[in-house]
Structure 1
Amino acid sequence: MSRTTPALVKLLLFAAVTLLATALLAQTLGAFPPDGVTYRARFTDVTGLLPGDDVRIAGVRVGRVSDIAVVDDNVAEVAFTVDRDVPVATSVRVAVRYRNLVGQRYLALSEGPGDGRPLRADGLIPLTQTRPALDLTVLFNGFRPLFTALNPDDVNKLAYEIIQVLQGEGGTVAGLLRRTASLTNTLADRDAVIGRVVTNLNAVLSTLADHDRELDQSVSQLQQFVSGLTADRAAIGEALVNLADLTDTTAGLLRQTRPPLAADVRALDDLAGTLDRNSAVIDATLGRLPQRYEALTRVASYGSWFNFYLCDFDGRVAVAGHAPLTTPGVSATAARCATGGSQ
């Protein structure tokens, strides 16, 4: 029992707080009618006014609209509740006003001329002491030319100021006119800019008009070019296909030749190193080549063959275990051998 008691106490406290918060929320949203005095007022038009909307005096909420019904076939009767500590006189004036530009309404109570006698509970306020909401459609249609030239923020601000002035909630007609004049001057400045743009556009169009023949020729040539492309679209398509095939073939060839090419590049690197290491021998050999080529040219000067003349001959034969045997030398007495030309 000792373990469950704290949990039970916490549960009861949570339930009580939840019920209290729910009741306050329901009261705020208008689920429960406030504790006050109910009155009735008749209007020629209450479009947009809904049960639960505010009832205000000098902008302070003092009650809520509880019911709306049609009486006498064409008159709307609105029942509303006002806090008990707020006195309501028989000379009260009731008006439907806009709460915001979204379209929400509320009832505004104000004191009118009269003896100020208290209005009894469930008392009826006649049509002569009520006023419907402004007809925003008619109102804003008159400002449509101005609204169409403004950005949305300026439209919203000006529209709300118009509603406040006409409902008597703030500002004056003079202030509204000053605001409208400022916006009109802004539009006039923009009109000057637009005029300059139109002037510049006229200059551009005049230039185009002066070169209309060249422009026409360019358009005609472009049309011919496009027509030619259209006529050759099949050949162009085939060329693109063949180009794709060529690209694939080239890629395949490169894939096949890449390993041998890499081996050749490595072999060339080795060859370059060998040549560099034997550069002295190569230079000497290249230096003797002109003389060798000159002698070779003389040998081949008689035709497409080489002539060789044996001018001197001797020999030496090596025998194992004996001294080498030397053959007697033979020398030719021809004139060519005497001059030392070819051997």
Structure 2
Amino acid sequence: MNRAVLAPLLKLTAFAAVTVLLTAMLAQTLGGFSSGGTVYRARFTDVTGLLAGDDVRISGVQVGKVRDIRVVDNTVAEVAFTVAGDIPLTTTVHAKIRYRNLVGQRYIALSEGPGDVRPLRPDGLIPQSQTTPALDLTVLFNGFRPLFTALAPEAVNQLAYEIIQVLQGEGGTVASLLRRTASLTNTLADRDAVIGRVVTNLNAVLSTLADRSGELDETIQQLQRFVSGLAADRVAIGEALVNLGDLTGATASLLADARPSLAADVDALGTLSTTLNDNAAVIDRTLAGLPDRYGSLTRVASYGSWFNFFLCDFDGTVGVAGHGELNPASFSSPAARCSTAGGRA
């Protein structure tokens, strides 16, 4: 084989071998494969969701895998699982099925119990009295349904996971939960007087409403008729609102067109008011003399819808060149209306 082809081929083969080896080591480290171990058995009343290949853990560390699940005595599930050979189990070991996540994956958690510590032989059986099945999440979450409806999906997932951890003993204790519940009940007990007054006041309100049930029914009926009338006239109301909008637009346009003229009129009114203020004395004298003048005009127009003048006196001068001013004629009527009492015009 050509040396130029053989060298790259050897490099590729070496690279592939190292890659496969490292991948296998990584998979073994992550627990993806099981290298065997000691087989044990445990019996549970319910193993719903547990599958072959699921983890077996001690204190949260993976130590084995579920190997097989079968039904015995028609009522009990027997689970065969492996545990690493260097981790011995005792006859007091307790096996619990716990939720791995909210998707539904489960695992078996092993913990040592009190009592006479003796090694559990290979293929030994953990009795049903020392096993605990998984929580029934359906029943649990149905109880929290009113709370979940008010939470965002992310908050629901977080709360549900924390509830599972608390009830499984991983993230808190039931005692802590009970202490918080006791604190809440004590707080309510301390507020019993306030709660009693609230209940009493609410009872008074309900009694008042019961006494006025007739008026309340009539009010509700009138409100229903009013709403029904509005619904029946919704077309006319809609057209009226449209017309009102058109009127508002037209009025705005009118004001926009008349605004320059109004501004000029306002300025002219300012000039007029200034002029009237400067001639206030003249206006006062004129207004004071108007009654007498109107009295004289009334006497002149007393014979009809015209002005009737009567000549009482006549006198005049004429300027003539070379002779000065001449008084060619003078006249004075002796009529009674021309007397001083009647007034001359």
Separation in structure 2 between the aligned mates of residue 255 and residue 213 of structure 1, nearest angstrom: 55
Is 1:332 the counterpart of 2:331? The answer is: yes
For residues 284 and 131 of structure 1, do their structure 2 counterparts lie closer, same or farther at Cα, with a shift above 3 Å needed? same
CA contact (8 A) 2:97 2:109 kept: yes
- Deviation of residue 186 (structure 1)? 6.0
Identity value in percent: 38
* 1:103-122 equivalences in 2 (<5 Å): 105-110=107-112, 113=116, 116=119
Separation in structure 1 between the aligned mates of residue 219 and residue 275 of structure 2, nearest angstrom: 66
Letter in 2 for 1:136: L
- SS of 1:332's equivalent? strand
Separation in structure 1 between the aligned mates of residue 83 and residue 64 of structure 2, nearest angstrom: 4
Is 1:44 the counterpart of 2:60? The answer is: no
Is 1:277 the counterpart of 2:307? The answer is: no
- SS of 2:316's equivalent? strand
- Deviation of residue 293 (structure 1)? 2.9
Separation in structure 1 between the aligned mates of residue 69 and residue 229 of structure 2, nearest angstrom: 77
RMSD: 5.4
Separation in structure 1 between the aligned mates of residue 107 and residue 224 of structure 2, nearest angstrom: 64
- SS of 2:343's equivalent? coil
Letter in 1 for 2:330: S
* 1:154-169 equivalences in 2 (<5 Å): 163-164=168-169
CA contact (8 A) 1:68 1:77 kept: yes
Segment of structure 1 superposing worse, 126-135 or 276-285? 126-135
Summarize deviations over 1:175-214 as a string: whole Å, max 9, x none.
6998699489669959x89898777655544433333333
- Deviation of residue 276 (structure 1)? 2.0
Separation in structure 1 between the aligned mates of residue 197 and residue 147 of structure 2, nearest angstrom: 20
* 1:1-343 equivalences in 2 (<5 Å): 29-31=30-32, 38-45=37-44, 47=48, 51=53, 53=55, 55-56=57-58, 59=59, 61=61, 63-70=62-69, 75-81=78-84, 84=86, 88=88, 91=91, 93=93, 95-98=95-98, 105-110=107-112, 113=116, 116=119, 123-128=122-127, 131-137=130-136, 163-164=168-169, 182=182, 203-229=204-230, 232=233, 236-237=237-238, 239-304=240-305, 305-309=307-311, 311-317=313-319, 326-336=325-335, 339=340, 341-343=343-345
CA contact (8 A) 1:96 1:132 kept: yes
- Deviation of residue 41 (structure 1)? 1.4
CA contact (8 A) 2:57 2:107 kept: no
Separation in structure 2 between the aligned mates of residue 242 and residue 324 of structure 1, nearest angstrom: 87
Separation in structure 2 between the aligned mates of residue 155 and residue 197 of structure 1, nearest angstrom: 34
Summarize deviations over 1:37-78 as a string: whole Å, max 9, x none.
82211123455557473532xx474x4224532468863221
CA contact (8 A) 2:43 2:127 kept: no
Letter in 1 for 2:300: V
CA contact (8 A) 1:316 1:324 kept: no
Separation in structure 2 between the aligned mates of residue 276 and residue 184 of structure 1, nearest angstrom: 81
- Deviation of residue 309 (structure 1)? 1.7
For residues 132 and 307 of structure 1, do their structure 2 counterparts lie closer, same or farther at Cα, with a shift above 3 Å needed? same
Aligned residues: 301
For residues 233 and 285 of structure 1, do their structure 2 counterparts lie closer, same or farther at Cα, with a shift above 3 Å needed? same
Letter in 2 for 1:55: R
For residues 243 and 131 of structure 1, do their structure 2 counterparts lie closer, same or farther at Cα, with a shift above 3 Å needed? same
- Deviation of residue 158 (structure 1)? 8.8
Separation in structure 1 between the aligned mates of residue 291 and residue 180 of structure 2, nearest angstrom: 107
- Deviation of residue 332 (structure 1)? 1.0
List runs of 5+ in structure 2 lacking aligned partners.
1-21, 149-155
Summarize deviations over 1:146-176 as a string: whole Å, max 9, x none.
x899999999999866654xx9x9989xx69
For residues 287 and 203 of structure 1, do their structure 2 counterparts lie closer, same or farther at Cα, with a shift above 3 Å needed? closer
For residues 217 and 239 of structure 1, do their structure 2 counterparts lie closer, same or farther at Cα, with a shift above 3 Å needed? same
Letter in 2 for 1:312: F
For residues 273 and 329 of structure 1, do their structure 2 counterparts lie closer, same or farther at Cα, with a shift above 3 Å needed? farther
